Amino acid sequence: MKADQTPAPKILVLASGSGTNLQALIDASRERDFPGEIVAVGCNKPKAFALERAAQANIETFVVDHTKYDSREAFDGALMAEIRRHNPDLIVLAGFMRILTTDFVRALRGQMLNIHPSLLPKYTGLNTHQRALEAGDDTHGVSVHFVTEELDGGPVIAQAEVKVLEDDTPESLAARVQEKEHLLYPIVVRWFCEGRVQLGSDYVLFDGELLKSPMRLPDSE
Ligand code: GRF
């Protein structure tokens, strides 16, 4: 509950790995004027470090271990039950490495964000840093988008660019992209919680207007 007694939008974060984006969101959510509250963190891997980060921040956690389910539908059903229990306004995928079923994604339409390490629509899927290097791109980056049925294909809300350096390796490039991720995701989550971004039929509404191209984080490099 924030100072004006209006309940803050509830955020549920799903992660599979180390959770550096989760940490950036936790840190941002501790700022006095942050307009949302992280109510739970869910993981599909019982040993994900993201769970420790959440526990250290006194955030409730849950695990839905995908290896214990026979099908994607069964896994998604169990995950949905956990999500419903927390009744969030927003689901934030932060390195959640499971492909979700169409029914699951449809049920949460307009309420689920993902961060993807490329300048979408370039390089959906995996190994984005390597693919940007192999293609000889001068610029790479990160996108935050609404989740729709199409993998990494939902309307993009915001992007941040990173210049590719001559001696970059996938690892060095990934590290600089991650710095941008940690800046960008809290900004977009804040916008969502403030009611500034919404999903239209196949576009983003920003402050009630059609967003013609993704918002850009100013390039500080
Ligand atoms: C990030 O690179 C994100 O773009 C991708 O998965 C990674 C998660 O990293 N979707 P972390 O667990 O937040 O450190």
CB 88 near ligand 1, within 6 Å: no
Task: Give the count of domains, the chain.
Answer: 1
Consult the annotation and say whether 114 binds a ligand: yes
Quick one: what percent of the chain has pLDDT higher than 90? 95
Averaged pLDDT for residues 148-159: 97
pLDDT at 4: 60
Q: Tokens for 6? A: 């209006």
Segment 127-141, tens digit of pLDDT: 999 999 999 999 999
**Residues 157 and 146: beta-carbon distance below 8 Å:** yes
Write out the residue range of the structural domain in which residue 105 sits: 10-217
For the purposes of burial, counting CB atoms within 10 Å of the CB of 212, is it exposed (0-12), middle (13-18) or buried (19 or more)?
Answer: exposed
The Å distance, Cα 63 to ligand 1 centre, comes to 18
CB 161 near ligand 1, within 6 Å: no
In Å, how far from its chain's centre is CA 41?
12
User: Of 66, 116, 129, 140, which one is the catalytic site residue?
Assistant: 116
Which residue is closest in CA terms to ligand 1's atom 2?
A: 117
In this predicted structure, the answer to whether residue 198 has a pLDDT above a threshold of 60 is yes
Quick one: what percent of the chain has pLDDT higher than 70? 96
CB 18 near ligand 1, within 6 Å: yes
| Among 206, 194, 190, CA closest to 156 | 206
Binning pLDDT at 50, 70 and 90, where does residue 3 land?
A: low
Asked if residue 5 belongs to a domain, the reply is: no
Q: Which residue, chain included where needed, has tokens 């791109």?
A: 137
Give, for ligand 1, the residue of 18, 21, 93, 140 to mutate: max count of ligand atoms closer than 8 Å to Cβ.
21
pLDDT at 218: 74
116 catalytic, yes or no? yes
Give, for ligand 1, the residue of 130, 181, 185 to mutate: max count of ligand atoms closer than 8 Å to Cβ.
181
Mean pLDDT of the chain, nearest integer = 96
Binning pLDDT at 50, 70 and 90, where does residue 108 land?
A: very high
pLDDT at 164: 98
The Å distance, Cα 177 to ligand 1 centre, comes to 10
* C-alpha–C-alpha distance, residues 91 and 31, integer Å: 20
pLDDT at 89: 98
Query: Dihedral of CA 104/105/110/114: which sign?
Result: positive
Q: Which residue, chain included where needed, has tokens 């869910």?
A: 42
Segment 55-88, tens digit of pLDDT: 999 999 999 999 999 999 999 999 999 999 999 9
Query: What separation in angstroms does the CA of 148 have from each of 19, 83, 152, 215?
Result: 22, 17, 8, 19
pTM exceeds 0.85 for this model: yes
The Å distance, Cα 19 to ligand 1 centre, comes to 7
Extract the runs of DSSP E, i.e. beta strands, from 33-134.
37-43, 60-63, 90-93, 112-116
Averaged pLDDT for residues 178-200: 98
pLDDT at 6: 79
Q: At 107, which helix (H) or strand (E)? A: helix 102-107
Asked if residue 2 belongs to a domain, the reply is: no
* C-alpha–C-alpha distance, residues 65 and 40, integer Å: 16
Which residue is closest in CA terms to ligand 1's atom 12?
A: 19
Asked if residue 103 belongs to a domain, the reply is: yes
CATH label of the domain that carries residue 109: 3.40.50.170
Which residue is closest in CA terms to ligand 1's atom 8?
A: 95
Asked if residue 49 belongs to a domain, the reply is: yes
Asked if residue 75 belongs to a domain, the reply is: yes
